Amino acid sequence: MRDIKIKIKENKYELLIAFLLLLVFTGLFSLNRAAPDTYSLEAYEFLFQDNLPYFKDGRFFMTIFVLVLKALNFPYRILKLCSWALAFISLYFGIIIFNGMLKKSSKKGNILLSFLTIVNIFVLEFFIFSDYTGIMCLGILFAVISAKFFLDFLIEHKKKLFILSMLFSLFTAFCYQGTIALVVILPIIFTLKYSKSLKEFLKNNLCLVLVYAIPTFFALIIGKLIGTNRLAPTDVGFFAKIEKIFKGVISLLASTATIIPKYLFFILLIINILVVIIAFWKKEKKYLYYLFLIYCLLAGLIVPLAPQFVIDYENIWLVPRSSVGLGIICLIPILIYYIYGKKNEKVITVLSCTMLLLAIFQFRGYLLFGYHQIRNNILEEKESIKILENFYNYEKEEQKIRNISIYTDKNITYNYQDIRVFGDMNVRIGARPWGVKAMIFRSINRSLKDKESKDFEKYCQNHDWTEFNDDTIKIKDDTIYICIY
């Protein structure tokens, strides 16, 4: 306990800076918000207990999290707040642990670099889904702990450290599969430092592959046995998948999901690479470090994409939450410099400027997406109130509604006008018919039976509305008909 107090006292400024950075970047997301998935979980799992969707997806920690809060009779709004708190705590300790790893290998940490590595630009999407947030970020913490044990394994060569690294890698996969790439990307940058020969370097990297591959394979098998996995059948050629993934990753990194300005990610990456190349120019064995930099960059690109190769072609979709490891790529040259470079004030100044620029635009992106999600929810609430008014008025004056029929018009509207959107971030609930159904179910606190209607489907397909109106709702007998515009 005395040692802990001493360490806290020695690192109090770093601890405070990490806390403030995290609070500033993520504080807005502590407010009550919703995505289409939020309504679905609340309706089907929290209220009706029809199924365990997270268990079927192999996300066992999310299942435990929901079951515990349900057992404690916590309302759903408190679940979302607890989720944010868990995310905050997980990321905070992830930052501190990773900064300690940098200190162990470079004698000097950098709290901003550690923050941007752990809370990278693509972590934003975790916060859009308020119910998922906590467990997704817990997955990041488990990945950092796995990386920490692997770094200790590189230094001490103890088998128990290797086993612990693999165990926490498995925990990462059971939180959220999109974070598993961090198990490789975070520790791989240290492998050259603790390899005295090419043979030892290859051995260390093979061990890292095992830390990633065995838990991932185990999680895939579990998912196939118990859940709705998306493992690929032999539907299309391998090269067709490569083409789709390649186009997807270029598009994602160029746009960065509109979180930061277009192409800024590539610009910062190129600047950081050039600065490190120049900084290492007079270093002994410089070409070894150049090759290692390329190696780490390729790992940072390929490992997050690996799961895309084993899922169905139609389900390949590169979005921030499934590719969180890609958000670290532009920081890899800086991490390499901090671990292997001879400290030079001019180099550190330039790299600090690129980090600061990234942090500023990343904060702007986090703030805008959070603000637009709140605006999006307000617009959704207005529409849901109108639907429910029709629902309750009919039940009051006519009869109880027992069935629901939902179809879409000719061209569904993906998002409200002037709302910042990318992938699943800030899509309107109307873009997900199952989300509309869940929203109604949780509002009326009961479920309705699905009912097909060819006539109403034809009616919807003959229209192309751009906003909500009374013609999008019909109620007849014991059925409510809703046309999603």
Range with lowest mean pLDDT among 90-94, 164-168, 342-346: 342-346
- In terms of Cα–Cα distance, which of 191, 390, 166, 416 is closest to 288? 191
Q: How confident is the model at residue 9 (pLDDT cuts 50, 70, 90)?
A: confident
pLDDT tier at 16, thresholds 50, 70, 90: very high
φ, ψ at 230 (rounded to 5°): -120, 30
User: Please, how many CA atoms are within 13 Å of residue 351, restricted to the half-sphere of its CB?
Assistant: 28
**For residues 91-130, b (16+ Cβ closer than 10 Å) or e, as one string?**
bbbbbbbbbbbbbebbeebbbbbbbbbbbbbbbbbbbbbb
**pLDDT, greater one: 398 or 95:** 95
3-state secondary structure of 282: coil
What is the bridge-based pairing of β-strands 449-450 and 473-476?
A: unpaired
Contacts of 422 (CB under 8 A, 6+ apart): 255, 257, 258, 259, 319, 320
Q: What are phi and psi of 11, to 5 degrees?
A: -115, 25
The span from the CA of 88 to the CA of 405, in Å, is 40
> Within a 13 Å sphere around the CA of 235, how many CA atoms are in the beta-carbon half?
13
Question: Of all helices (H) and strands (E), which one includes residue 465?
Answer: none
Reported as a pLDDT band with limits 50, 70 and 90, residue 287 is very high
Q: Is residue 114 very low, low, confident or very high in pLDDT (cuts 50, 70, 90)?
A: very high
**Would you say residue 282 has pLDDT above 90?**
no
Rounded mean pLDDT of 265-289? 94
Write phi, then psi, for 403 (nearest 5 degrees): -125, 160
Q: Average pLDDT in the 239-246 region?
A: 84
DSSP reduced 3-state for 261: coil
Residue 58 has pLDDT above 80, yes or no: no
Q: How many Cβ atoms sit within 10 Å of the Cβ of residue 300?
A: 23
Query: By mean pLDDT, which of 163-167, 368-372, 468-472 is the weakest?
Result: 468-472
Give the pLDDT score at 376: 92
Tokens of 68: 């515990």
Confidence of residue 280 (pLDDT cuts 50, 70, 90): very high
pLDDT above 90 covers what percent of the chain?
A: 54
At 378-423, the pLDDT tens digits run: 998 888 888 899 899 998 888 899 999 998 888 888 888 889 998 8
428-462 confidence digits (pLDDT tens): 888 888 888 888 888 888 888 889 899 998 999 99
**At 480, is the secondary structure helix, strand, or coil?**
strand
* pLDDT at 354 (0 to 100): 97
Q: At 452, which amino acid appears?
A: E
CB 402 within 8 A of CB 448: yes
- Where is pLDDT greater, at 427 or 272? 272
Of the candidates 288, 287, 152, the one whose C-alpha atom is nearest the C-alpha of residue 207 is: 152
Closest CA to 309 of 402, 241, 247: 241
